[in-house]
Chains A and B, each alone.
Chain A
């Protein structure tokens, strides 16, 4: 490790209603790989966005190569030598590798682009990195891993001095990760400063020199990797006091019937051989880190995305789910993590949204019985305590929590027995949160069963009777609430095969 190249000190950033970064520090030295760790929503990405000028900071200083800097957009940061290799790739699939690397700054030969020279330069970059990619290959024909390598090559071609890897290994195979690590070590030897954001504990141990841990937007501490254990880091990540009472034992009777059984569900690379059971009156928590395949599992189960294989049994009977229609017919309702895109129709009324999944029950001959529709919607507005002047209010005018209640109402009107809550409290304020929790408890008390996908550890521990943990598309753990702890869940969530 050499001199300090980048120092972020006391970085503070607030968004309306959220204190995203609370005086965070980060120091990166030349020739080190510095891990940035934390649970989902700990503020890692926000910190990096502040660094590269996507967000402006409220307080604090950034010192880069001895000078205080403030970038106003990613291009400025790039020109100064700070480059992010993104998780979602900013690639142009139709162009070649070399064309992607040099987009916006093509090497010219008079008025014409000198593709030959660009291919040579790209080849040199790849040679330097020791990777085998044909610069003339079309980008979309490469594997995700290779595409990532191209992003790295692009970053290096900017003469980067600090490279930030945002969960680079999330989509890579074992062999590709090896290759990636080799490149990162090379870059380190060339005295670059590297920030490595990842959830994977074993990787952190292998590749990084120091670890900075963040939690809930705050700075927890920095460790030297080789002097610390995996448990030290996990403890720092989860060390928060849980204010709400965690559930200590399952409320589901031992002999409660299994209402939903999923066996060997497979769908793409994010759902690999997932099996589980859901009992009547149970809240089954699905825990895991970002990109663990939980939402994908739910969508495949619900028929929203095609699946390659797997058997689904509802109340012991094997059923075929090809489309959401099939799922709804068998009494399954799905509350998406992305309400605005998949849950509600924002420019329609509460009443219209509430009956969306069960309109056939509100027909009087050929016509919609609007009176009854309004009555039923009103009834659910009251039971769910949705705050609205009336059921003819457009959903767009409601707050996040109340919008969520409208989606819940949609499935309750349909009288679904199995409900999949995907991140039920995301973007919802604290008061509305506990209302949603109470509501979920009431629902299971009535004999409904809930699958709850959540990235919030406290939510998982407070609500679930049993917990399924996923990692990279596989089920890596199943815990009864009585034996579940944050550490055990986090262990399973970082368990790679």
Chain B
């Protein structure tokens, strides 16, 4: 009765299994993509490309880490893209229009994420709504909210040289004329911390358990609603962090924007091996998947494919990633 132990010598290799086949494939694809873009475009072979990839990576990684928790419970959070814009608008509005200290703006930005995450979590766990529908509705709500609070005008966070522009240096520091992508450090620290949270703490363990078999988890005496809510709260807080990363990299945002970015983050997570069916997923995989997205976003314009092509490509990538996930689950069943 070894019918479940499928696979070949490669997939059963202990090192390969420890890392995960999918992650190894993603790394190979990532390297191939970088080689491809480098070969196609001289502009890609410059230091500034790394900075540009990083700018996309920061906020996508934060969104990706957060939504990975929702995906692992078997749910999803569609409000993160629009939410990120909304929170950045609110925080930026306080700093630039209401002249609050920058730190207040930052705290409010993250707090907004925390509140909306809690709302999402409660609607899903207590209200019994399908996660995609619940978070779609909150996506509409934050979309309107961001625009209403800023009076419908776009917001530009302080520039790096402005007196209160130190938020930007948090992610990109100028050391002796060279710009250093400092944000990568923060992404890595948080990724490691959340990875530990997911794998080494009770809430993390129960989040995985809920996605694996909700009823069995409940019967083991775990308060399922609480941990399901926590997953959405994490997603909300990380959306707040992503808002900081975004405003630091791109400075300004228009009200009502951000729609579609959630698909980049969800796509990244799924490419990294997180399953739409719940129960499995890794933070490391999500970070790798997000890199695919950010390299695409940086590389495609350099070979002459602008934003509109990117949407098509990301749509296709998403379909393929989800289809692979469906096939994977079929094989397991």
Question: Which A positions have Cβ atoms within 8 angstroms of B?
Answer: 74-75, 90-95, 99, 103-104, 106, 108, 111-113, 115, 140-145, 173, 176
Contact = CB atoms under 8 A, between A and B. Distances in A.
B5 interface: yes
B200 A94 contact: no
B45 interface: no
A144 B200 CA distance: 27
A142 B48 CA distance: 49
B213 A142 contact: no
Nearest to B3: A143
Contacts, number: 64
Contact of A112 (B1, B200, B211): B200
Contact of A145 (B1, B216, B280): B1
Given A112-B200, A112-B201, A173-B1, A90 B209 contact: no
A93 B221 contact: no
Closest 7 CB pairs of A and B: A104-B220, A94-B279, A143-B1, A92-B212, A90-B216, A94-B212, A112-B200
Contact of A142 (B4, B202, B216, B217): B4
Contacts of B202: 106, 108, 113
Contacts of A95: 205, 208-209, 212
Interface of B: 1-5, 196, 200-202, 205, 208-209, 211-213, 215-217, 219-222, 279-280, 332
A99 B2 contact: no
Contact of B222 (A90, A103, A176): A103
Nearest to A75: B221
Contact of A92 (B2, B4, B201, B217): B217
Contacts of A141: 4-5
Contacts of A108: 202
Contact of A140 (B4, B205, B220): B4
Contact of A111 (B201, B216, B220, B221): B201
A153 B205 CA distance: 20
A115 B200 contact: yes
B271 to A, nearest CB: 19
A115 B205 CA distance: 11
B189 to A, nearest CB: 17
A142 B5 CA distance: 7
B311 to A, nearest CB: 33
14 contacts: A90-B215, A92-B216, A92-B279, A94-B279, A95-B208, A103-B205, A106-B202, A113-B201, A113-B205, A140-B4, A141-B4, A143-B1, A143-B3, A176-B1
Contacts of B2: 143
